[in-house]
Structure 1
């Protein structure tokens, strides 16, 4: 079950209160303070608990936007990896190839799209964090709302800092034109703020919600995201502590890997955080996700676009007999477990099965698969982070136990495949965990940054143009540098 429809309908209303000029970290200083017709102004908003709820709901609503889940996210978080390539027809959106070959120009629109999408999330969060504390309302609910905003702000800054390095760190809504243009903040400080937000979020978030509010950020989500951030910083003791805590909470792996990504199992016991998407009758604006559509089977019923498709390298990387291969990849000419027959003569030999929505669920008037949630944090990630941290700290017994839980689910009781890892030396276990992460999280927008934080960029991505000292991060959008009057600086090599 998803968050109730009130979140979807209110998110559009709530979005109207946010000041458009404060969406971006750099902005021209000349602007007119003219109220926009049809939108509620912040001076008359932020008075009641209902206003606070609408403001928080607007944050969730923005997270399923094009910039957060479609082309910009694919470009920045997937195209550089060895798991994915452009797809679609050869001439369609050929600029994706520049991300794949690391020949990207800072003027490319998906760079600024991803940047602006994250800062729009952050702006919505800052509106809540600036205004909700003064509202007279239930103290526990207020603390929850503030914690939700801190969690999503932290997640957005994490996406920014791992993609671009140093970025402008804005923690409040600008009060006047002089506050719009701020410089980049060192990545170390950005990460410190992300960790601070996640610590405070975990303190204010509940462990679970009633059915009507499933999908909101929880304590488990904050702890899991903190473990992920700590993993990037190689704070292995922290990773182990956070994941041990989450492993003691009420999460578990679903028995069948393929079912994890199907709509009936959204917000399941394995899901720790998902971007919530839905079809809201009479409100297509609140049903705007194109996550599934842009990756859907090309030329199939409903008009999938066929982008972000698996590579032959990914298909060949799975261990013999691993069921996750066929649960991750839709092959041209196959019949899916849901009974859809895939055209044997389509443009692409493979498609992303994790974003797949059965054709029978397409609804006229809505984007194909617009109701498909985006899985962000899963319990299997907690287990593999726990395994990696334990191994780095010299505890091979715990590392192998956590690794085996993931492999055992994948083998589904078949003793002839995916044998338990029995090595005890750190290097061999590390390699096994790295391989397991690829098999478990392929096409989930994690592989590219996983390889970089593991220090394997040259070895894995070098053959397609990746250069050490340059491609660890993407270029700062040239439009932002221009808007800042040169206050923002470009990353080396771009």
Structure 2
């Protein structure tokens, strides 16, 4: 199995810490071995390593691990905090109950993680423009970095609404620029405009998935940029643009649904036909605690036991929908790899999609840093975007066709006379526990009712966005403003 290109951070020109992020330890080097800026610019071979240093950020704890899991999944009706009643996970009990506030650590971690990634991206773009290398390689690398920057701004705008928009290399001694740019929230319309600009540029620069050599499989592609742009349009209710861009991905011939839904999130599904973009992890450079946080807790101990699928989610599936058994690990039972899930585990359900098998998948005993890739964009997501946009445009035939394509993959009967709620339901079942449910509820106006049905109180006018981290407002000297909290 090919675990694809490794993420290796390049040091030297990036030995700095941003005023608006935490320190990036993996960029620190012995000063005696550090490259000078001139050394770097005179060696075009460093270009790829420079961009790999941007990708590398995705593996960190404050990107897609515990804080992100809490904000995007535990908050929703798909999942509960899990673990044990006494283990709160710092603030995950408050996220679960929707009683969180600006001081909670998850909000600051997610903010810091994205802006640390954006900081790397801005630095990389600054130096890429100065490198004398093959133009097509330069264009491709710029496209990759702009895709990553757009992705992180998409996370930020969905989480916080108006956020600072920083798209240039920042001089950390330039207090005026920091005060006017880093510490000033921009309207979310401006943020989406930047996301669209970055992705449009990336689309023109990036190759198709099939045009990458196997060693580079997993890098950002034209299809990935088109997919993220379709999703950005969907969130802004720009139906025709979302419909068209999703159609570009579908019509590219680069992607298809896997035959077996249960395989999509296993190692066998990594970078497969259904994968559009995912975090690349290896045994020597893995994702920090994504699987560990959600692994079964008890005896034998496989993890922390957080983010357990809810009864609400379990009961929402049709009785004959195989996606339920592929998404929810039921205890007791026998897992897909033959491992026995015992009654000595603390919770009756766990997230099957985050499960890393120590028996049948790449494993070195380090459950805190696993080789499991994280899917960020999938083909089924694009089919559902196309269906939802088509419905809003009055094209119910296309909406039905795309939904029935997804249902057909798992052996479910076709729907006729499709409704918007059926599309929403299909999206929930197809993408359960994949960190979209909270955002889907908010953007479609279902959050208040869905949370009430799950025993939670969603306050309209407040909970559509998370609070700006209290720690960031303090660092800004009060220049950053707060949401309605």
Indicate the TM-score class for this superposition, using the shorter chain for normalisation.
over 0.9
| Structure 1 position 60, deviation (Å) | 1.2
- Counting only pairs closer than 5 Å after superposition, residues 237-248 of structure 1 correspond to structure 2 as 237-248=240-251
Match of 2:56 in 1: 61
d(CA) in 1 for partners of 2:299, 2:261: 24
d(CA) in 2 for partners of 1:16, 1:73: 30
1:217 maps to which of 216, 220, 232: 220
- Counting only pairs closer than 5 Å after superposition, residues 125-164 of structure 1 correspond to structure 2 as 125-164=121-160
Match of 1:334 in 2: 333
Match of 2:427 in 1: 437
1:169 aligns with 2:165: yes
- Between 297-306 and 245-254, report the one with greater CA deviation: 297-306
- Counting only pairs closer than 5 Å after superposition, residues 291-330 of structure 1 correspond to structure 2 as 291-299=290-298, 303-330=302-329
1:352 aligns with 2:351: yes
Match of 1:115 in 2: 111
1:420 maps to which of 402, 411, 414: 414
- Between 235-244 and 69-78, report the one with greater CA deviation: 69-78
- Counting only pairs closer than 5 Å after superposition, residues 194-213 of structure 1 correspond to structure 2 as 194-208=195-209, 209-213=212-216
1:18 aligns with 2:14: yes
- Given the superposition, is the C-alpha separation of residues 288 and 248 from structure 1 closer, same or farther in structure 2, using an over 3 Å criterion? closer
- Given the superposition, is the C-alpha separation of residues 252 and 26 from structure 1 closer, same or farther in structure 2, using an over 3 Å criterion? closer
| Structure 1 position 367, deviation (Å) | 2.7
2:263 maps to which of 252, 259, 265: 259
- Given the superposition, is the C-alpha separation of residues 400 and 365 from structure 1 closer, same or farther in structure 2, using an over 3 Å criterion? closer
Does the 8 Å contact 2:299/2:344 carry over to 1? no
| Structure 1 position 39, deviation (Å) | 4.8
Alignment gaps of 5+ in structure 1: 28-34, 281-285, 412-417
Give the number of aligned pairs: 468
d(CA) in 1 for partners of 2:148, 2:362: 30
User: 1:167 is paired with a residue of what secondary structure?
Assistant: coil
d(CA) in 2 for partners of 1:126, 1:196: 15
d(CA) in 2 for partners of 1:488, 1:393: 39
For each residue in 1:314-334, what CA deviation from the matched residue of structure 2 results, as whole angstroms up to 9, or x when unmatched? 000111210000000001111
1:99 aligns with 2:69: no
Does the 8 Å contact 2:107/2:468 carry over to 1? yes
| Structure 1 position 151, deviation (Å) | 0.2
What's the TM-score, normalizing by structure 2?
A: 0.92
Does the 8 Å contact 1:79/1:100 carry over to 2? yes
Does the 8 Å contact 1:25/1:180 carry over to 2? no
Does the 8 Å contact 1:357/1:369 carry over to 2? no
d(CA) in 2 for partners of 1:299, 1:58: 37
| Structure 1 position 163, deviation (Å) | 0.2
User: 1:77 is paired with a residue of what secondary structure?
Assistant: helix
d(CA) in 2 for partners of 1:125, 1:353: 33
1:453 maps to which of 443, 447, 455: 443
- Given the superposition, is the C-alpha separation of residues 141 and 469 from structure 1 closer, same or farther in structure 2, using an over 3 Å criterion? same
Does the 8 Å contact 1:386/1:399 carry over to 2? yes
d(CA) in 1 for partners of 2:3, 2:178: 34
What's the TM-score, normalizing by structure 1?
A: 0.91
| Structure 1 position 301, deviation (Å) | 5.1
Q: What do you get for the CA RMSD once the two structures are aligned?
A: 2.0
| Structure 1 position 95, deviation (Å) | 2.0
| Structure 1 position 365, deviation (Å) | 5.3
Match of 1:31 in 2: none
d(CA) in 1 for partners of 2:386, 2:208: 20
- Given the superposition, is the C-alpha separation of residues 362 and 53 from structure 1 closer, same or farther in structure 2, using an over 3 Å criterion? closer
Does the 8 Å contact 1:288/1:367 carry over to 2? no
d(CA) in 2 for partners of 1:151, 1:37: 34
1:473 aligns with 2:471: no
Does the 8 Å contact 1:329/1:351 carry over to 2? yes
